[in-house]
């Protein structure tokens, strides 16, 4: 197992960092928090032009055909830059589900638009505790009813990938639904401005059989694999953000003078920075290990859970250390630490928090 970055990964990393440093400043991030859509269409179009929106999607449907490590490398840089937009919810989460569960015709219809940045999709119903949608098959239609909360960027989505609840209480066959279909009501939720989260309600929404993701085989296995890819990408975002917070506090501790000397000379501050450095390296190792196994087509559920559990802990430690070392100045909402803290809390809870993934690992280890 070689977890080092090859030449292609290093080029992707350097290109992404250079682009995002030039195009995605924190001032843009703050501006987008107050905008209607929550992201810059200009930046989104440029990202599509770079091939990022289809980085890990099939080349025959407009993507770049990259592997999970490519996705993690890019996600780290996007997390570091706080890049706004539905990249994770549309290109990664919905894109991976469609790439595994859709028929070739459905892929041609949907994935091409996602890769070009012309279609924004949002996932509905795949996560326990957020609500549910039922699907009743009647003739050549499925009738959807239900309500799901915390759907990111639902207000700008043109398409929903819906995972209904089956009669047995499990996950049913996914389907795609036009967001403009009669009976769909999307209401913005009061949440952190980092994500445009909505509550989406389905009231007798009729979906034709052709919208069922006909390529899904083997029950929920394909869907679970897609969620694992999305989770490891989320881990990459978290690692990138934590590493940037570490860089910020190290730079600050060198310039901030107290008691006649830089605060970085105090052992207590040094220990916080050293501990965070080790934690970032450990989180990156676990994330790349999980990505490597996914890329090789190997079972990776435990590796993904280890990475997500550890990255969730890392997010808390990084933001706590950041606010502690920056101290009073970081209480002001104008300080960049607030941008990192808000996004870290969302990522920590998304796709299962630390307790959820530790519980999964516990079940695996139980005799």
Dmax of the chain from CA atoms? 79
Numbers of helices and strands, H then E, in the chain:
11, 9
Q: For the domain that residue 75 is a member of, what is the CATH number?
A: 1.10.540.10
Structural domain contains residue 69: yes
Instruction: Give residue 218's pLDDT.
Output: 44
Question: Do 109 and 194 lie in a common domain?
Answer: no
Enclosing domain of residue 340: 221-365
Which one of 169, 184, 211 terminates a domain?
A: 211
Instruction: Give residue 215's pLDDT.
Output: 61
Point out which residues pair with 122 in neighbouring strands. 160
Instruction: Give residue 216's pLDDT.
Output: 54
Reported pTM: 0.93
Domain count, the chain: 3
Instruction: Give residue 277's pLDDT.
Output: 97
Structural domain contains residue 216: no
Give the 3-state secondary structure of residue 187: strand
Q: For the domain that residue 291 is a member of, what is the CATH number?
A: 1.20.140.10
Question: Do 95 and 159 lie in a common domain?
Answer: no
Question: Distance between CA 251 and CA 15 in Å, rounded?
Answer: 24
Which one of 176, 211, 246 terminates a domain?
A: 211
b/e sequence 142-151, b meaning 16+ C-beta within 10 Å: bbbbbbbbbb
Residue 120: both structure tokens together:
């924004």
Question: Do 154 and 60 lie in a common domain?
Answer: no
Structural domain contains residue 50: yes
Residue 62: both structure tokens together:
């407009």
Question: Distance between CA 318 and CA 72 in Å, rounded?
Answer: 19
pLDDT tens per residue, the chain (367 residues)? 666 788 999 999 999 999 999 999 999 999 998 888 899 999 999 999 999 999 999 999 989 999 999 999 999 999 999 999 999 999 999 999 999 888 888 888 899 999 999 999 999 988 888 889 999 988 889 999 999 999 999 999 999 999 998 767 777 889 999 999 999 999 998 877 667 899 999 999 999 998 998 665 544 578 889 999 999 999 999 999 999 999 999 999 999 989 989 989 999 999 999 999 999 999 999 999 999 999 999 999 999 999 999 999 999 999 999 999 999 898 898 999 999 999 999 999 899 999 999 999 999 887 7
């Amino acid at each position: 197992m070689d977890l080092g970055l090859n030449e292609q990964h290093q080029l992707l990393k350097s290109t992404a960092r250079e682009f995002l440093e030039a195009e995605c400043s924190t001032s843009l991030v703050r501006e987008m928090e107050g905008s209607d859509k929550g992201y810059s269409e200009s930046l989104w179009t440029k990202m599509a032009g770079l091939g990022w929106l289809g980085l890990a999607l099939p080349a025959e449907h407009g993507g770049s055909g990259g592997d999970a490590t490519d996705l993690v490398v890019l996600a780290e840089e996007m997390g570091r830059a706080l890049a706004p937009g539905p990249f994770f919810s549309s290109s990664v989460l919905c894109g991976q589900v469609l790439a595994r569960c859709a028929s070739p015709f459905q892929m041609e219809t949907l994935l091409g638009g996602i890769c070009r940045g012309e279609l924004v999709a949002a996932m509905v119903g795949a996560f326990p505790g957020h609500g549910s949608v039922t699907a009743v098959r009647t003739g050549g239609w499925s009738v959807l009813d239900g309500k799901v909360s915390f759907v990111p960027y639902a207000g700008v989505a043109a398409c929903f990938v819906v995972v209904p609840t089956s009669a047995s209480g499990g996950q049913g066959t996914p389907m795609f639904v036009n967001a403009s279909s009669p009976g769909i009501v999307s209401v913005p939720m009061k949440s952190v401005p980092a994500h445009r989260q909505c509550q989406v309600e389905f009231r007798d929404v009729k979906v034709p059989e052709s919208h069922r993701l006909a390529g899904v085989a083997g029950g929920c296995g394909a869907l679970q694999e897609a969620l694992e890819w999305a989770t490891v990408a989320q881990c990459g975002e978290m690692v990138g953000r934590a590493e940037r917070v570490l860089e910020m506090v190290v730079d600050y501790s060198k310039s901030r003078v107290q008691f006649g000397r830089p605060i970085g000379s105090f052992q207590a501050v040094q220990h916080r920075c050293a501990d965070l450095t080790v934690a970032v390296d450990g989180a990156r190792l676990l994330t790349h290990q999980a990505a490597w196994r996914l890329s090789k087509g190997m079972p990776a559920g435990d590796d993904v859970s280890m990475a997500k559990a550890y990255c969730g802990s890392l997010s808390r430690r990084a933001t706590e250390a950041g606010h502690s070392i920056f101290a009073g100045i970081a209480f002001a909402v104008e300080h960049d630490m607030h941008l990192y803290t808000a996004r870290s809390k969302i990522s920590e809870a998304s796709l299962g928090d630390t307790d959820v993934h530790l519980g999964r690992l516990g079940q695996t280890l139980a005799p």
